[in-house]
Amino acid sequence: MMRGGRSLVSSPPAFSNDAKKLLVCTSNTVSVFSTVTGLLITSLEGHTALVTSVIVVPPSNPAAKVLCYCWTASLDGTIRYWDFSLPELMKTIDIRMPIFSMVIPSFLDVPAEENGKHQDLFAYVSIEDTKETQERTKASRRQIRKCNLSKSRLVGRLILGETRKPEVLTVSPSGKFFGIRNKCKLHIWKVLDQGSERAAVRKITLHHTKKITVIAFHPTQRIIAAGDVTGRILTWRGFGNRAFAASNGVADQKLINVQEDKPGVRDNDDADSCSTWHWHSAEVNVLSFSSDGSYLYSGGKEGVLVVWQLDTGKKKFLPRIGSPLLYFIDSPDPTLSSISCADNQIHLLKMPSMGILKTISGIKAPCFYPDIYEGLGNGIAFDQTAGIVAVRTENYCIQFYSLFDDRGVSEVQVCERNHQPGDDVTVIVTSVALSIDGSLMSTSEVKLAEEGIGGLVCLKFWDAGSQNKEFSLSTIVYEPHRDAGISAVKFHPSGNMVVSSSFGGDFKVWKCNHDVIQNDQMRQNFSWTCHSVGSYKKKPMTAAAFSADGSVLAVAAETLITLWNPYKNVLLAVLGETLTPIVNLSFVGKSDNLVAASCGSNPQLSVWNMSKLSVSWSYKLHIEAVASAVDLSSFAALVLLPESSKKTTFKGMDGVILLFNATDPVPTVIWSVRKAKGGALCFVQVNPSSVEEISIDGKAPEVLLAYMNGDHEYVLFDPYCKDAREVSVSQKEGLAAHDHKGQAGQYGYASIYGELPEFDRKRPEAPWVPSFPSDRPWETIFSGSSHNLPPLTKLCSAFLESLLEKRTAAAE
Amino acid sequence: MAEIRAEEPASTISKTFLIKPKLKSKPRSLPQTPESKYWSSFKSTKIPNLVSSISSLSFSPSPPHLFATAYSTSVSLFSPLSLSDGDVSPSSTISSFSDVVSSIAFRNDGLLLAASDLSGLIQVFDVKTRTPLRRLRSHTRPVRFVKYPVLDKLHLLSGGDDAVVKFWDVAGESLVLDLMGHKDYVRCSDCSPVSPDLFVTGSYDHTVKVWDVRVENSRSVLEVNHGKPVEDVIYLPSGGLIATAGGNSVKIWDLIGGGRMVYSMESHNKTVTSICVGRVRKENDGAESMEDRILSVGLDGYMKVFDFGNMKVTHSMRFPAPLMSVSFSPDCRTRVIGTSNGIIFAGRRKGKENVESGRVGNVLGFESISEPERRVLRPTYFRYFHRGQSEKPTEGDYLVMRNKKIKLAEHDKLLKKFRHKDALVSVLSRKNRENVVAVMEELVARKKLLKCVSNLDSDELGLLLTFLSKNATMPRYSSLLMGLTKKVIEMRVEDIRNSDALKGHIRNLKRSIEEELRIQHSLQEIQGVISPLLRIAGRR
């Protein structure tokens, strides 16, 4: 069982003390990456829910720099203490309430064990109080509390603040202040006496008119910066002079109030001055002071890191990051820092020049398009042999992600278009297909029309050079099916043929002519040309598939399945009818079965037997994805559960994976999964190099099933392994009810279409006999696009000849 | 192809242009090359009245490069500095000779001067005090030459009509070696600039012999035959080549290659009497360097400059008397030629007076073999800014290509600045159909095309309508352009109504659409004819 594809940017990462490691929260674990190579070193596993904070213990003296200790907090309600060099769990503090954020302000002030008396270490946590649900309103259950880490408990009933939403705590580098944002307000606490548990922490509030999104403390001075949703950056100087500095005389405060002139400060807030910078066009997500406090880094949705010189307000930029920024983290090494982007990439920056040194590349999140284009498939393609998945990304790229290594391999820019986060979507990559050996790729894209003008569909073929796996464009076909959209693109098993089906009622088979150019290095030159065009009763073609040996091409014409000989372009057979259009076709490995999935109001999963040309069995299930291994007789289907059953039987699970033997309607194994919408399935062949790490109990599995959910997180597991089955057993009772329902669906279907097999068996006989192309030239003579047709004079003679022949035949 | 054809007539025409005959007669002198310009830049001064033939000329190797002339029974020293002031009187004269002085030679530090006379006596003088320091007597017949080795201060070389070459130790006034081998008068010699032990002598027996004082049996190391009585011989600065003058030819020999003749220069009409090495300032690749030349003078009164790098005579100059001797100063500023009737033609170039002062320390006389001199380029020179640009890569160099600069068309620049309407207008005025459509597609991708259309003023709208009327029916673009045409007319109907020019465009548009419709109709008719036939065929 391998998990991967997790988000690297769910919470801010942290650098180790020597800046050689970067600790990244990846859902339940903390992954430790090397900043030099950008590769995963190790991971801290133990939390059972999302890790929300990771804090590296700073060294108390220079010699302690090599120590690698960190605190982590998670939504599972525990705070854990790790030695991440080993990695080893040292201590667990269970506070039984989900922790959204944790800060430990007082590392620096802990006077170690020198004076004999060990002082307690305190953390401030942002938690949700799950216990007191009955007494309190939901709004005030999110609390800021203090936690004694040394004694492993929360400090009494000390509640520093309550907020409506879980807020992120921000601590000043000096450890004297921490704060949160709360809508248009900032709350700042001063950490007072370290030793005592009960010490009252003082709080001030600063006000603003817009919603504040992020705050940052100056490392040495009393300056706090805050970014708001409109892109402004506010800087308060000398905050808390009154409340924090003055002893406790109310009279004094009043006096100061009268005397002071405080430019820009609102509502009699406790600050000397407030200034505003405005460059960002959208909300500010990143704010951070440089370690010497002379610069301020800011970033936001537009994906530009801005460096402000604090005294003069002069700006420097790092543009073209291409994705909204989420976190900026300074490292103890002044030449290194990191930015986390919303597209699941962490860039390590070389600091004064702000060049990107290395990128820790996670799988990019799926891109969301307006609803009209929803039905165009999920844009995920698998390279079964190499264990690589190709996903389309928001910046018009195809990202290649290694499933075994859990890191990005490369990226191919599909459209020549710069992506700016927040732009209107004008080009959509609708589908991507990879050949079985992974060396060829085909993508289709749609350029959206502006009020009906200038829409363009484009089919592109790519090939990877033999040495490097960089894909290069070999052929572009504009408007391959006139103005109709492409519904599916599939590769022939041999790799030199592609079928593209369109909603415009035809499908085209493209053939690859490749010639090897012998210049200084062997270079293959691929070019793709249209081999044949087919259509069936002008019906929209919605799905296509090649059989495993490549001799049969199945194309779904809405509710019918047409079978073709791809080489001769001859219609072999037409298979019966489903209720709603078929969206997914797949041949089951080497067996003579074809799986068809249709969606809509009457979703259906049906398995057709090619030898009998009839339906074997079917379920009424909403299928999201179907996968079949090349040389197995089983297939897996990802099923979206209906709303009704989701509530009752599956807790939070919205999908199941069913593993079928093609001949048997009873699934052999069932797994339930989350976030199945937009998911994908694939059987991945195990290559020998990665066998050692995957092998579970001594023997290596031949084939693994990869499931990728709607958030592009994936899991690889052996579908035939024992313990995987045991895991699923616990879920099986819950599924039984649904199983039954599915069989009932089959029953109902059989009752309606009981006679279908015989009906189908007869029908294919008819087209079999006369479909020899030589006999009926007029059927094919005018087919093909206009520029491919021979001149009319040539056609005419052939055509008339065929007619004449008929006459003579009739005369005889 | 079309372009080539267009080119050819132009080139032939340019060849057949008649050259208009010039009214002025052609100047007799050839057009000046940079080199002849250089040689003419020596401002000639005549030093007259020196009684008889100038038998020898020699420059002091040390600044300020005095030169000594031997004529009749006296030796005069001249200062080249005073020459440029027009003063032609000698700075000093030595006249303690009993017979005609045949040859003079400076020691390489310029402090001593050796002179030989026809009585067979060789005297060594202090240049400053003009007192004879040593008297070397051994020759029985007239001495024809005396030479100081270039790299040696202690010895002296002499030879004369007794066919013996003698090697002297000057300090002890003693003879070191007698070198026998020549069969006739020995007339000339030169010492190798690279070795203190090697020298060549030339004789009237037509041979030139190379001697090495280290060779024990006092026989010549190498011998070449000039073919004529040898009048003068010099080492070329590399030390590997020698030049010999005899008869009316100057020949260049390769000593390292075993005495092979490299070239024979035969441009003099009479006997060449004297040769010397001169240097010329050459500009190549923006940097200045000095190149060596052979200056030869002959009885025909010509001085020729021979470039032995390219084996070409690069300059020639005529003097009104038979020339006997030539010498060129080490600082390249003075060139003196002595005639047979007692006149010296001294030429001096302008320039900074102490340009050679930096090389005073080079007393060992390495000048002749040192690297060609290059003038240091300073930012005040224009050439400074072109330095190194014509440098060619050598074999092992790794070429770093500069990225090709991308030239953007105007509409691309405007699109980069988000000036969408300007970009559209700019590309419409360029009349390139593909570009217009490409810009329109880009504007669609930015969702700005209709905005642009609504912002066009009436002239620009006319431009757009002209384009549409021409191209809207082209099958390749019709899917985009027909939709656009419709929108344009819908959006700008008011403007079109108000302008006659625009109405004209609309009429054109209408006409082209109607034509297209006619074509479509006729196509449909054809289809109508064919489809029943197809139907019949299909029914079978």
The four Cα atoms A498, A502, A505, A510 give a dihedral, to 10 degrees, of -20
The C-alpha atoms of residue A293 and residue A235 are separated, in whole angstroms, by 13
Q: Which residues of B touch A417 (CB under 8 A)?
A: 445
Residues of chain A numbered 744-783 and touching chain B (CB < 8 Å)? 776, 778-779, 782
Q: What is the CATH number of the domain that holds B511?
A: 1.25.40
Nearest to B299 by CA among B335, B270, B320: B270
Residue B381 located in a structural domain: no
**Closest Cβ opposite residue A452 in set B446, B483, B536:** B483
From edge to edge, which strands make up the β-sheet containing B164-169?
Answer: B143-147, B155-160, B164-169, B174-180
Query: What's chain A's average pLDDT?
Result: 77
DSSP B85-132: TT--S-SEEE---SS-EEEEEE-TTSSEEEEEETTSEEEEEETTT--E
Contact status of A806 with chain B (Cβ, < 8 Å): yes
What pLDDT does B279 receive? 83
Which residues form the domain of B134? 46-346
Q: Look at B483 and A454 and tell me if their CB atoms are within 8 Å.
A: yes
Same domain, yes or no, for B416 and B509?
yes
Domain boundary among B346, B362, B382: B346
Q: Look at A451 and B450 and tell me if their CB atoms are within 8 Å.
A: yes
What pLDDT does B414 receive? 93
The encoded tokens of residue A133 equal 């649900």
Do residues B120 and B140 touch, judged by C-beta distance below 8 A?
yes
pLDDT-derived band at A394 (thresholds 50, 70, 90) equals: confident
Q: How many CA within 13 A on the CB side of residue B466?
A: 14
Q: Which residues of B touch A799 (CB under 8 A)?
A: 533, 537
Q: Look at A447 and B487 and tell me if their CB atoms are within 8 Å.
A: no
Reported as a single tens digit per residue, the pLDDT across A213-223 is 999 999 888 88
Q: Which residues of B139-155 are buried (b: 16+ CB within 10 A; e: fewer)?
A: beebbbbbbbbbbbbeb
Residue A468, C-beta contacts closer than 8 angstroms, at least 6 positions apart: none
Q: Is B2 helix (H, G, I), strand (E, B) or coil?
A: helix
Residue B403 located in a structural domain: no
Q: Look at A453 and B487 and tell me if their CB atoms are within 8 Å.
A: yes
The pairing of strands A703-708 and A29-34 is: unpaired
How many CB atoms lie under 10 A from the CB of residue A410?
Answer: 18
Q: Which residues of A touch B441 (CB under 8 A)?
A: 447, 454, 456
Q: What is the CATH number of the domain that holds B329?
A: 2.130.10.10
The alpha-carbon gap from B367 to the nearest alpha carbon of chain A, in Å, equals: 52
Residue B25 located in a structural domain: no
Same domain, yes or no, for B471 and B327?
no
The encoded tokens of residue A610 equal 């090619």
Is the pLDDT at A573 greater than 60? The verdict is yes
The encoded tokens of residue B201 equal 């002598």
Q: Which residues of B touch A782 (CB under 8 A)?
A: 534
What pLDDT does B411 receive? 92
**Closest Cβ opposite residue B444 in set A453, A776, A803:** A453
The C-alpha atoms of residue B255 and residue B262 are separated, in whole angstroms, by 10
Long-range contacts (CB closer than 8 Å, 24 or more residues apart) made by A24-33? A24/A54, A24/A346, A24/A360, A25/A50, A25/A51, A25/A52, A25/A53, A25/A54, A25/A72, A26/A51, A27/A51, A27/A713, A28/A74, A30/A54, A30/A70, A30/A72, A30/A82, A30/A84, A32/A84, A32/A87, A33/A346, A33/A360
The alpha-carbon gap from B489 to the nearest alpha carbon of chain A, in Å, equals: 14
From edge to edge, which strands make up the β-sheet containing A680-685?
Answer: A2-4, A714-717, A703-708, A680-685
The alpha-carbon gap from B483 to the nearest alpha carbon of chain A, in Å, equals: 6
Do residues A25 and A76 touch, judged by C-beta distance below 8 A?
no
Max CA-CA distance within chain A?
125
The alpha-carbon gap from B435 to the nearest alpha carbon of chain A, in Å, equals: 15
The alpha-carbon gap from A522 to the nearest alpha carbon of chain B, in Å, equals: 24
The C-alpha atoms of residue A578 and residue B151 are separated, in whole angstroms, by 110
What pLDDT does A62 receive? 73
What pLDDT does A328 receive? 92
Reported as a single tens digit per residue, the pLDDT across A113-150 is 444 445 677 788 888 776 655 555 555 667 788 887 77
Return the residue matching tokens 């796996």: A469
The C-alpha atoms of residue B95 and residue B98 are separated, in whole angstroms, by 9
Q: Is B179 helix (H, G, I), strand (E, B) or coil?
A: strand
Nearest to A425 by CA among A482, A478, A375, A367: A367
Q: Look at A778 and B487 and tell me if their CB atoms are within 8 Å.
A: no
pLDDT-derived band at A355 (thresholds 50, 70, 90) equals: confident
Measured in degrees and rounded to the nearest 5, phi and psi for residue A428 equal -125, 130
The domain defined by A369-379+416-715 carries CATH number 3.10.250.10? no
**pTM tops 0.90:** no
Return the residue matching tokens 């009885």: B299
Q: Look at A806 and B487 and tell me if their CB atoms are within 8 Å.
A: no
Q: Which residues of B touch A801 (CB under 8 A)?
A: none
**Closest Cβ opposite residue A453 in set B480, B538, B540:** B480
What pLDDT does A468 receive? 60
Q: Is the peptide bond before A324 cis (omega within 30 degrees of 0)?
A: no
Q: How many domains does chain B have?
A: 2
The encoded tokens of residue A305 equal 């890191």
What pLDDT does B53 receive? 84
The pairing of strands B43-47 and B344-348 is: antiparallel
Max CA-CA distance within chain B?
138
Q: Which residues of B touch A454 (CB under 8 A)?
A: 440-441, 444, 449, 480, 483-484
**Closest Cβ opposite residue A454 in set B441, B534, B537:** B441
Q: Average of pLDDT values for A299-311?
A: 89
What pLDDT does B420 receive? 92
Same domain, yes or no, for B444 and B322?
no
Q: Which residues of B310-325 are buried (b: 16+ CB within 10 A; e: fewer)?
A: eeebbbbbebebbbbb
Residues of chain A numbered 394-433 and touching chain B (CB < 8 Å)? 417, 424, 426-427
Minimum CA–CA partner of A449 in chain B? B444
Chosen for mutation from A428, A445, A450 (greatest number of chain B CBs closer than 10 Å) is A450
The C-alpha atoms of residue A562 and residue A536 are separated, in whole angstroms, by 8
The C-alpha atoms of residue B53 and residue B70 are separated, in whole angstroms, by 9
The C-alpha atoms of residue A321 and residue A344 are separated, in whole angstroms, by 12
Q: Is the peptide bond before A87 cis (omega within 30 degrees of 0)?
A: yes
How many CB atoms lie under 10 A from the CB of residue A16?
Answer: 23
What pLDDT does A452 receive? 75
Minimum CA–CA partner of B534 in chain A? A778
Percent of the residues in chain A that have a pLDDT greater than 90, as a whole number: 8
For chain B, how many helices (H) and strands (E)? 11, 28
Query: Residue A234's Cα: distance from chain center in Å?
Result: 34
Chain B residues with at least one Cβ partner in A under 8 Å: 440-441, 444-450, 479-480, 483-484, 487, 533-534, 536-538, 540
Reported as a single tens digit per residue, the pLDDT across A512-564 is 887 766 665 556 678 889 989 988 888 888 889 998 888 889 999 888 899 99
Q: Look at A426 and B444 and tell me if their CB atoms are within 8 Å.
A: yes
Cα distances from A349 to residues A7, A32, A129, A637, in angstroms, run 20, 18, 39, 43
Nearest to A13 by CA among A69, A72, A67, A64: A72
Q: Where are the domains of chain A?
A: 369-379+416-715
- Positions of E strands within A414-546: 427-434, 440-447, 456-464, 471-478, 480-483, 486-491, 497-502, 507-518, 522-534, 541-546
Beta bridge partners of B255: none
Cα distances from B465 to residues B428, B483, B515, in angstroms, run 10, 13, 17
The C-alpha atoms of residue A484 and residue A458 are separated, in whole angstroms, by 10
Chosen for mutation from B444, B449, B520 (greatest number of chain A CBs closer than 10 Å) is B444
Amino acid at A342: A
Is the pLDDT at A810 greater than 70? The verdict is no
Residues of chain A numbered 482-541 and touching chain B (CB < 8 Å)? 483
How many CB atoms lie under 10 A from the CB of residue A564?
Answer: 22
Q: Look at B447 and A427 and tell me if their CB atoms are within 8 Å.
A: no
Q: Look at B534 and A451 and tell me if their CB atoms are within 8 Å.
A: no
Give this complex's ipTM: 0.71
One digit per residue, the tens of pLDDT, for chain B of length 540 reads 444 444 444 443 444 455 555 555 555 555 677 788 888 888 888 887 777 888 888 888 887 788 888 888 888 888 887 776 767 778 888 888 888 888 999 988 888 889 998 888 899 998 888 888 888 888 888 999 998 888 888 888 899 888 888 888 888 888 888 888 888 899 899 988 888 888 899 999 989 999 888 877 777 888 899 888 999 999 988 888 899 998 889 999 988 888 888 888 888 888 999 999 888 877 666 567 778 888 999 998 888 888 888 888 888 888 888 888 998 888 888 888 888 888 888 888 876 544 444 443 344 444 444 455 566 778 888 888 888 777 787 888 888 888 888 888 899 999 999 999 999 999 999 888 999 999 998 888 888 888 899 988 888 999 999 999 998 888 888 888 888 999 999 988 888 888 888 999 999 999 999 999 999 999 999 999 999 998 888 776
The encoded tokens of residue A485 equal 């959209």
What pLDDT does A194 receive? 55
Q: Is A811 helix (H, G, I), strand (E, B) or coil?
A: helix
Cα distances from B505 to residues A473, B500, B511, in angstroms, run 42, 9, 10
Return the number of CB contacts < 8 Å for A and B. Answer: 52
- Positions of E strands within A331-396: 336-341, 345-350, 355-361, 380-383, 388-392
Beta bridge partners of A577: A560
Contact status of A801 with chain B (Cβ, < 8 Å): no
Reported as a single tens digit per residue, the pLDDT across A212-250 is 999 999 988 888 999 999 989 999 888 877 776 644 444
Q: Which residues of B touch A456 (CB under 8 A)?
A: 441
Q: Which residues of A touch B448 (CB under 8 A)?
A: 450
Amino acid at B126: D
What pLDDT does B311 receive? 85
Q: Who has greater pLDDT, A804 or A484? A: A484
Residue B332 located in a structural domain: yes
Contact status of A799 with chain B (Cβ, < 8 Å): yes
Q: Which residues of A touch B483 (CB under 8 A)?
A: 452-454
Contact status of A447 with chain B (Cβ, < 8 Å): yes
Residue B23 located in a structural domain: no
